[in-house]
Amino acid sequence: MKILVAEDEPMSRELLENMLTKFGYECIPAADGQEAWELLNKHALRMVITDWSMPNVDGLNLCRKIRSGKFHNYVYVILLTAKGDNNDTVAGFEAGIDDYMIKPFDPKVLKARVTVGERIIHLEDDYKKAQAQLLQSEKMASVGQLAAGVAHEINNPTGYISSNLKTLADYEDDIRKVLDAYHQLVETLRKIPADSRPAALTEQLDRVAALEKELDIAFVMDDLRDLTRECQDGTERIKKIILDLKDFAHPGNDKIQEADINKGIESTLNVVWNELKYKATVTKNLGDLPPVKCLPQQLNQVFMNLLVNAAQAIKEKGEIAITTQAVNGYVEIKISDTGCGIPPENLNKVFDPFFTTKEVGSGTGLGLNVSYNIIKKHNGSIAVESQVGKGTTFTIRLPVS
């Protein structure tokens, strides 16, 4: 680990550097607080050992600048001082120091205090990593659900497209045989005078006619048309899924805009359909809604969370009902299921971060908390009603303007 050493007295600075180097640390020297501040802004340093009394910027003012600065990581500050008065100690901690040592100090004490600071830095790093992994896990769980659903929906149409294209290739071979036979007939006719019809030519014509009848060219041509239409239907289905996925995600679009809530629900349904279709019958009663100024991709995330949760709450086969209506300047969305329901003692916890009733590894408990925060950011409200064994209803209200 690199440690910034701010000390204006050269011998003291060299002594500190030698001690820290002996302990296995790399030192970045600074002759005063101003130089230390400039080095901090150039290098990603996590620990500073600074003298109190220095020209230009002293140790306390350096610490104040550090605490008011916008660093990506926390900077641990140890203050060196010859002052041992309680008021001086209080002043140091009020300035934002983490620890202090009174000169002269024992090298063992220096090593111990630096070790404590290093441990705190590692704890912060571990916390950030755990938090990032948790959020990434939740994100990847959502992405995984989407990817699985989309892949399944795309595989179905592409499957029969692939099969039909193979059949089309077989038909093409058959048609090529007939065309080859016709070409041979034309070549034979060109070699024989028009007023002469030898037996070979008659035989050739009969063979071509028999081959055309055997292969049922009329049926083949009709079936080619039908197969082409099926391929077109399949590609249209793929296009719709991809377009709905784009509508759902809105990559890179983070600006407030007017959006059709019903369209967002339809797009989200299409994206998560694979999660729902085996568990529930989905009924929709979508009212005539005014446009809502919002972040559409974030609201779609809310709809996805609620719909997937509804499906997971249904053990075998059930129903999911989606209702929208305009009410007194608000758009109201209700998503209901006939699942297992939520116990009364848990109703006031469902929007808390990390709260989940799922098995370990099945969820992080952030989905509803994320949904709650998104709705609050839109100046709306989200409420839940539930009865164990009967089902759950989430009600979202969003202001129109």
CATH number at residue 27: 3.40.50.2300
Q: Is the dihedral of CA 155, 156, 157, 163 positive or negative?
A: positive
Please tell me the predicted confidence (pLDDT) of residue 267: 85
Do both 99 and 30 map to the same domain?
yes
Q: Check if the beta carbon of residue 144 is closer than 8 Å to that of residue 271.
A: no
Q: What is the DSSP letter of 103?
A: S
CA distance 132 to 90: 36
The alpha-helical segments, DSSP class H, found in 96-216 are 107-191, 199-215
CA distance 6 to 28: 8
Residue 127 within any structural domain of the chain: no
Regions of the chain with pLDDT less than 70: 129, 132-152, 155, 186, 190, 194, 242-254, 353-366
Do both 165 and 88 map to the same domain?
no
Do both 64 and 168 map to the same domain?
no
Give the residues across from 326 on adjacent strands. Answer: 331
CA distance 47 to 30: 13
Q: What is the DSSP letter of 80?
A: E
Residue 112 within any structural domain of the chain: no
Pairing of strands 330-337, 391-399: antiparallel
CA distance 258 to 265: 15
Instruction: Report residue 26: phi and psi, to 5°.
Output: -100, 130
Please tell me the predicted confidence (pLDDT) of residue 145: 62
Do both 257 and 319 map to the same domain?
yes
Please tell me the predicted confidence (pLDDT) of residue 361: 46
Please tell me the predicted confidence (pLDDT) of residue 254: 60
Please tell me the predicted confidence (pLDDT) of residue 310: 92
Please tell me the predicted confidence (pLDDT) of residue 169: 78
Residue 167 burial (CB count, 10 A): 12
Q: What is the dihedral of CA 123, 126, 127, 129, to 10 degrees?
A: 160
Residue 111's contacts (CB-CB under 8 Å, 6 or more residues apart) are 19, 23
Do both 238 and 257 map to the same domain?
no
Do both 256 and 169 map to the same domain?
no
CA distance 131 to 135: 6
Please tell me the predicted confidence (pLDDT) of residue 366: 63
Which of 46, 75, 105 is the last residue before a domain boundary? Answer: 105
Residue 113 within any structural domain of the chain: no
Residue 391 within any structural domain of the chain: yes
Specify the 3-state DSSP secondary structure of 391: strand
Do both 93 and 150 map to the same domain?
no
Give the residues across from 320 on adjacent strands. Answer: 282, 337
Q: Check if the beta carbon of residue 48 is closer than 8 Å to that of residue 36.
A: yes
Task: For 321-385, give the secondary structure using H, E and C.
Answer: EEEEEEECCEEEEEEEECCCCCCHHHHHHCCCCCCCCCCCCCCCCCHHHHHHHHHHHCCCEEEEE
Q: Check if the beta carbon of residue 324 is closer than 8 Å to that of residue 288.
A: no
Do both 256 and 394 map to the same domain?
yes
Residue 10 within any structural domain of the chain: yes
Domain that residue 233 falls in: 146-248
Instruction: Report residue 294: phi and psi, to 5°.
Output: -165, 180
Do both 40 and 171 map to the same domain?
no
- Report the predicted TM-score, pTM, of the whole model to 2 decimal places: 0.48
Do both 337 and 258 map to the same domain?
yes
Please tell me the predicted confidence (pLDDT) of residue 289: 93
**Total tally of structural domains belonging to the chain:** 3
Which residue type sits at 263? K
Do both 222 and 269 map to the same domain?
no
DSSP result, 238-263: HHHHHHHHHHHH-TT--S-EEE-HHH
Specify the 3-state DSSP secondary structure of 392: strand
Residue 131 within any structural domain of the chain: no
Residue 48 within any structural domain of the chain: yes
Residue 114 within any structural domain of the chain: no
Which of 225, 248, 271 is the last residue before a domain boundary? Answer: 248
Do both 302 and 331 map to the same domain?
yes
CA distance 375 to 389: 27
